[in-house]
Structure 1
Amino acid sequence: MNDPIRWGILGASNFAQRDMAPAIHAARGNVLSALATRSPDKAAPFADLVPGLRIHDSYDALLADPQIDAVYVPLPHTMHIEWGLKALDAGKHVLVEKPVAMHADDIAPLIAARDRTGLIAAEAYMIVHHPQWHLVRELLADGVVGRLRHVEAVFTYDNSGDPANIRNRAATGGGILPDIGVYTFGSTRWATGAEPDAITHADLDWEDGCDVLARVSARFPDFTAHWVNSMRLLPEQFVLFHGEAGLIRLTAPYNAARFGEAWVEWRGRDGVTHTRSWPGVDQYVLQVEAFAAAVRGEAAFPWTLEDARGTQKVIDMAYAAAGDRPVS
C-alpha cells in the first residue's frame, strides 16, 4: 500500500476548518499533518480534529516542513497565486482554493511553475468530483435533452450581516463572481464542453467596490445561458439544462449535502421523469482522494488549471461587459 499523502494547510480559515480539514482527515490515503497559523484560538479546532497536528507559526515554516507532501491554500483570493507558486518552489503539490486568480492572465505563472516542477497544481473545484455532475455530463453527451438550447443556473446566499468577510472586501478579492460565479459559469462549461462566444448581458450591483448581485447572460455556439449569483439574496441554488427534446434539473448542484441532497431529475418528450440521488456523498472527500490519485500517478485530476483559467476568462468577460466596476 502506498504511503498516505501528508497535507499542510496555509491559514486557519473558517472554510478550511468546517469543510476541507475534515475532508482531508476522512479521505482514504491522506492525512492532515500540519497547519500554519499564528493564532492558538484558530488552531484549536484543527488540533481537536487531529491530535498531534503540527502547528507552524508562519506559512514559510510549513512550506519548509519536510514531512509535508501537499499544501492546501484557502487564503484570501488575492494571495492564491503567490502562495501557490511558493508551494511549488518548495517542492510541494498544491491545491489552491477557488478562484485561483483575479484575472485569467494571472494564472499563467502557476501553469508554468507546475510544468517546470512536474508537481500537481490545481484549483479546488469540488463539484466536478461529485457523481451528479458526471451523470449530467453523460446525459448531455448522450443527447437525452436533444439539442440543448438554454442553461439557467442560480446560486445565491446572504452575508450582508458580515461586513468583515473577505467576500465583502475589495482589497481581498471580494465580490460574488469570484466567489461563486465560478460555479454557475464553470459548471455550464464543464457539463457541456462548450465555451461562450459572447456575454450578451451583464447587470451587476455593487457595494464598497464588490459586486454583490450579478445577472449575466451568455451566448454559446449552440445555446444560451443565464446565470444569477448573489450574496444579498435568500439562499438558493439550481441548474436547468433545457433542450428541444428534454431537460435536466439539479436541485443542490453546488453545495450538495449542505444545501440539500444531491438530486438530478431528467425527462424527455415521452413525459417519463427519471431521478437519481446520492445521499451521504461528500464531494470534498472525493476531491482530496482524486488529488492524491493524481499525485501518485494513478489518474488525471479532472479539473486543471487550464479549466480554471477558462472560467476566469468568462468572469473577466462579464466584468468587461458590465463596464461599471467602481474605481478603487
Structure 2
Amino acid sequence: MQKPVRWGILGAAKFARQFMAPAIHAAEGAQLVALATSSADKAEPFQAFCPDLTVYQDYDALLASPDIDAVYVPLPNHLHVEWSLKAMAAGKHVLCEKPMTMRAGEFDQLIAKRDETGLLAAEAYMIVHHPQWQMVRRLIDDGAIGKLAHVSGKFSFDNRADTDNIRNKAETGGGGLRDIGVYVLGSARFATGQEPDDVSAQIRWENGIDAMAEVQAQFPGFSYSAYVSIRMHPYQEMLFHGEGGVIRLTAPFNARVFGEARVELHRAGLEVQVTRFPADDHYKLQVEAFGWSIRDGVDYPCPLEFSRGTQAMMDRIFEVAQPL
C-alpha cells in the first residue's frame, strides 16, 4: 500500500475549517498533519476533528517541515501567487484556493515553477471533480441536446453586512467575479471545451469591488450570458440550451450546501430525465484526484493551463466592462 499524501494548510481560514480540512481528513490516500496559524483559538476547531494535528506558528515553519508533502493555500487572493511559489520552492505540491492569480499572466511563473520542480500545482477548482459536471460534458459530447446554441449561468449571494470580509475589500482582491465568477466562466469552458472569441460586460462597482457583473460572450459554437453578484439573494444555476434539448444544473457550484446536485435533461415531448447526486463531496473528490496524480501519474482534471484560461476570460471582462 502506498503512503498517504501528508497535507499541511497555510492559515486557519473559515473556508478551510468548514470544507477543505474535513475533506483532506476524510479523503482516501490523504492525511492532514499540519496547520500554520499563530492563533490557538483558530487552531482549536481543526484539532477537534484532527487531534494529532501539528500547529506551526508561521507559514515558513510549516513549509520547512520534511513531514509534509502537499499544502493547501486558502489565504486572501492577493497572497496566492507568493505562497504557492514559496511552497513549490520548499518542495511541496500545491493546491491553492481560487482565484489562484489576480491576472492571467501571473500563471506563467507558476507553470514555470511547476515544470522546473516536477511538482503538482493546481487551483482548487473543485467542481470539475463532481460527477455532475463530468456527466454534463459527456452529454454535450454525445449530442444529447443536439447542437449547443446558448449557455447561461447565474450565481449570487449577499454579504453586504459582512464589511470585514476579504470579498468586500479591494486591497485583498475582493469582488464577485474573482470569488464566484470563476464558476460561471470556467464551468462553461470545462463542459464545452471551447474558448470565447468575443466578450462584453457591465459591472456595478462598490468601494472598488465588483458587486455585480453581467457578462455576454460569443464562443465558436454558441452564445453565452451570465451574471454574478455578492449583493443579491443566494441563487445558482447553469443552463446548456441546444437545438434538441436542455441541460439544467440546480446546484452546480455548492452541491449539498445550496441544495442537492441534480442534472435535468429536457428533451422533446416535455420529457425530463433527472439524475440526482445526493452524497458526492467534490472537495473530498478533489483531494483524492490530487493524490492519484501525485502517486500514480494520473492526469489532473484541472491543470494550471485550464485555470489560466478562465483568468484570461475574467481579465478581458474587467478590460471591456461598462458601468452597470
Q: CA deviation at 1:29?
A: 1.0
Deviation by residue 1:244-267 (Cα, 9 ceiling, x = unmatched): 111100000000011000000002
Q: Provide the aligned C-alpha RMSD in A.
A: 1.0
Deviation by residue 1:132-183 (Cα, 9 ceiling, x = unmatched): 0000000000111111111110010011110110110000000111111000
What is the TM-score when the length of structure 2 is the normalising length?
Answer: 0.98
Q: Which residue does the alignment assign to 1:176?
A: 176
Q: Which residue does the alignment assign to 2:90?
A: 90
Q: Which residue does the alignment assign to 2:154?
A: 154
Q: Which amino acid aligns with 2:121?
A: A
- Aligned residue pairs total 324
Determine the C-alpha separation between the residues in 1 that align with 2:259 and 2:265. Answer: 18
1:22 aligns with 2:22: yes
Determine the C-alpha separation between the residues in 1 that align with 2:7 and 2:158. Answer: 32
1:241 aligns with 2:230: no
Q: Is the 8 A contact 2:202 2:323 kept in 1?
A: no
What is the TM-score when the length of structure 1 is the normalising length?
Answer: 0.97
Determine the C-alpha separation between the residues in 2 that align with 1:267 and 1:143. Answer: 13
Determine the C-alpha separation between the residues in 1 that align with 2:49 and 2:168. Answer: 29
Q: CA deviation at 1:46?
A: 0.6
SS at match of 2:195: coil
Q: Which residue does the alignment assign to 1:35?
A: 35
Q: Which residue does the alignment assign to 1:278?
A: 277
Identity %: 55
SS at match of 1:188: helix
Determine the C-alpha separation between the residues in 1 that align with 2:233 and 2:269. Answer: 35
Q: CA deviation at 1:321?
A: 1.1
Q: CA deviation at 1:298?
A: 4.2
Q: Which residue does the alignment assign to 1:206?
A: 205
Q: Which residue does the alignment assign to 2:117?
A: 117
Determine the C-alpha separation between the residues in 2 that align with 1:239 and 1:287. Answer: 21
Q: Which amino acid aligns with 2:181?
A: G
Q: CA deviation at 1:324?
A: 5.6
Q: Which amino acid aligns with 2:29?
A: G
Determine the C-alpha separation between the residues in 2 that align with 1:90 and 1:6. Answer: 15
Q: Which amino acid aligns with 2:78?
A: T
Determine the C-alpha separation between the residues in 2 that align with 1:130 and 1:323. Answer: 34
Determine the C-alpha separation between the residues in 2 that align with 1:77 and 1:49. Answer: 27
Q: Which residue does the alignment assign to 1:11?
A: 11
Q: Is the 8 A contact 2:35 2:54 kept in 1?
A: yes
**What runs of 5+ residues in structure 1 fail to find an aligned partner?**
none
**What runs of 5+ residues in structure 2 fail to find an aligned partner?**
none
1:127 aligns with 2:127: yes
